Chains A and B, each alone.
Chain A
């Protein structure tokens, strides 16, 4: 089982293994990725294992055990894998089995045997059990024994962690074909849709999980993805929203039952409170109000309370603001402007929250699309993005030999020079200051690259000039009434926050290009009326370049080239 399967016998799935939830997906015959529901019908399977007199529970059943059997329930263990005890953060496990140091790794002391004896189970063994359960669910669903998988990991997963995960997967009978980064899997899930168009764009993937949030800024160039910047926050996540609701409901409870005691101070009561708060949070993502109802919450008092979305958004405004800040920080880290971002993909369970999507939409200009269920009807379920992306990648590479996969993911292949500036042509006027730069190749495009453009010509035809230049993206800020502000800060947009209250007019921010470097010129003569010009630019890996221009349908082409830097 643990032997490497030959490509023909491989049945590969995509696994998204998160701290809070895991999901599994496969690619159907038509190349459509679909998420598999486990035996209980869950597509998001809580990454929790629980043991009751030797019987193993996983997923929703195990999650319910957090109330009654917390000490034998293991949760939030993904990030512990491959780490030593010193470097882990055990806070999320407060309500479940506590992590302990065991030799060089982390372990849990749980009663997982029938005779109720306590045994020490390492985190890697827990992971193996969890993955085995996932594998069995997938095998049952597909009717074939699943023996390989593409697993998604956060961008900051270390090699040691990957190795530990790979080993745990192998023990569970799964050959890991490849580890892919969660944000890239999300982008792939969107790009693999049949209606998706291939375009050069900058994408922000905000993966808002249960106990951590990760943001990645990705340059997508002709279907190739490069991560420009990442940001991680372990203090912002769904758990924070749960905490806000827990505090709210605990206070309401105390108001109603003066002698009820604080449910947060009692382990079982707080577990009940947490579970129900999470349910309320999910309900509020769909409906505009939700009911909180727990029987015998604390000291035998039942508690029912309703909350509407308005109130929820008010009390958790701080957390929402933190999400937005995190995304903006990541964009800044990538040395980009919000105007450069054409898409924001919200992934992870917390991304269902409508307020997060809407506050991101307002923080970014109108040209940015926020892909979340509440803002875009065609959005894919954010919880399923990573698993779908992994399944698509699995279907692409499952035919490959293991060695082939290794070679393709080798740094020799993946490390590529990326263009520092955009390459394009000047339109309207040949003068560098008045002409309008239109890019063919965006900045941060990996080379070698080939791009073709169809360009309009003056209405009457005739002779035209093709001037190829490098352009730098600049943000042009224009104020409707520059005189109203005398403080001289007009040029600098980021400092305007404090005086934005006094001026009603919004400043206009625009993305333009400044022509920096003329690379080549070519003339096309005698074009007919309404003709179009086809221009193709080829940039080789050493940055040497060739181009040709011709009238569409015409036979005469003008060719040109410029050399690689250093050789000139």
Chain B
């Protein structure tokens, strides 16, 4: 929404028009409404309002932010200061030169893309071209220019670049010492080391070291990867120069053989070095200990649980047994006591019966063997005693006791006889005695 086209012409300025004095007219008061937070124009409005920008300010800032991005990208690659020592290098000594530093790519190194290398080369060439130096009145020294050309030659050839990268010590990260690691930044320090070493891997992507929250699988995968590391690193770059003359073939072969051996030796050394590095890291890795402890704890937990369960079971069994024994003992005692009580009671009953019987017999005697008047004849006494015994045998101990109680203290013959007669009556009515069986009492 920028321009409106108005087709009607503006009024002609009348002759007597003069610029009005400061007008006091203002806009009519506005109504507050919600604008819908939707659409690109609203977002622009929100940006202006939140950052308190006017239209033109916002336009300018938006334009600037868009432009800056491009500039940053361009500037980054050659913004490195050039080391004066490097500038005075001799191109002949190209093996010792840091090609990335020469092109100003030392912060990218093996990560630099082909495009970056090309652009960096162009920028350096523009700056260090020998003709420019000559024009500026300097010497005709083109040694650094040659360095640049050599660096580009190596870095733009993938095979040569790999050879150089293999021996690029500036890209190495020294493994931290044990002391440094123990200060607690294991992941930060070793992460860098492994990231740098990972550049030699034929298998990409290389797993990351992770942090103390990494899972066991991740950590195991990481160390497995490093113990089975497949490296493309080779050491041709450090070869001794093979003499180029055709005359001395033996010498040439000798040097070649020496180089081969040196490469093999270095490769073995490198593998051993890497192995040791991974060993060191593994030894210092807290996570391994943690996992082992966790595993141990898991195992122990199972065992302890089992033991505890067994113990509990045994305890319970013992307790049950004890209780059972206790119960049994109590029962026995009770039984014994009951038995003893029974015996005593029986004896007492027996005694009482005996006594009662004696009383009854005594009563018979007292009643003069139921003989009215005068001394009783022997037969009379006999039958009376027999009848009394008969009654005693027919009645049980309780009735006997009752009878005894009735008889106790009775001296009168008739009374005693009456009691006996009553007794016989009850016995007859109970059917225990036949009528007329106790003849002496009839």
Contacts and interface: CB of A to CB of B under 8 A. Distances in A.
Given A222-B41, A523-B13, A416 B33 contact: yes
A409 interface: yes
Contact of A465 (B8, B13, B38, B49): B13
B393 interface: no
Interface residues of A, number: 93
B30 A408 contact: no
Interface stretch (A72-80, A316-324, A433-441): A433-441
Interface string A449-480: 01111111111001111110010000000000
A543 B27 contact: yes
A120 B275 CA distance: 62
B10 A465 contact: yes
B13 A421 contact: no
A517 B8 contact: no
A308 interface: no
A256 B12 CA distance: 80
Which of under 10, 10 to 19, 20 to 34, or 35 or more describes the interface residues of B?
35 or more
Main secondary structure of the interface of A (DSSP, over half): strand
Given A451-B4, A452-B4, A538-B55, A227 B9 contact: no
Nearest to B45: A224
Contacts of B30: 417-420, 447, 543
B162 to A, nearest CB: 33
A95 B428 CA distance: 98
Nearest to A558: B19
Interface in B43-63: 43, 45-46, 48-50, 54-55
Contact of B33 (A415, A462, A516): A415
A73 to B, nearest CB: 34
Contact of B9 (A188, A459, A522): A459
B10 A517 contact: no
A539 interface: yes
Contact of A519 (B11, B23, B31): B23
Interface stretch (A21-29, A96-104, A178-186): A178-186
Contacts of B4: 440, 451-454
A223 B41 CA distance: 5
A539 B50 CA distance: 18
A519 B33 CA distance: 24
B59 to A, nearest CB: 10
Contacts of A452: 2-4
A157 to B, nearest CB: 14
A259 interface: no
A418 B24 contact: no
B32 interface: yes
B8 A438 contact: yes
A407 B9 contact: no
Contact of B19 (A427, A523, A538): A523
A223 B36 CA distance: 10
Interface string B158-187: 000000000000000000000000000000
A226 B37 CA distance: 9
Given A224-B35, A417-B31, A568 B8 contact: no
B436 interface: no
Q: Which 5 pairs between the two chains have the least Cβ-Cβ distance?
A: A223-B41, A222-B1, A417-B30, A427-B8, A463-B13
11 contacts: A180-B36, A180-B37, A227-B36, A407-B50, A419-B30, A438-B8, A453-B6, A456-B10, A524-B10, A562-B25, A568-B26
Interface of B: 1-14, 17, 19-20, 23-43, 45-46, 48-50, 54-55
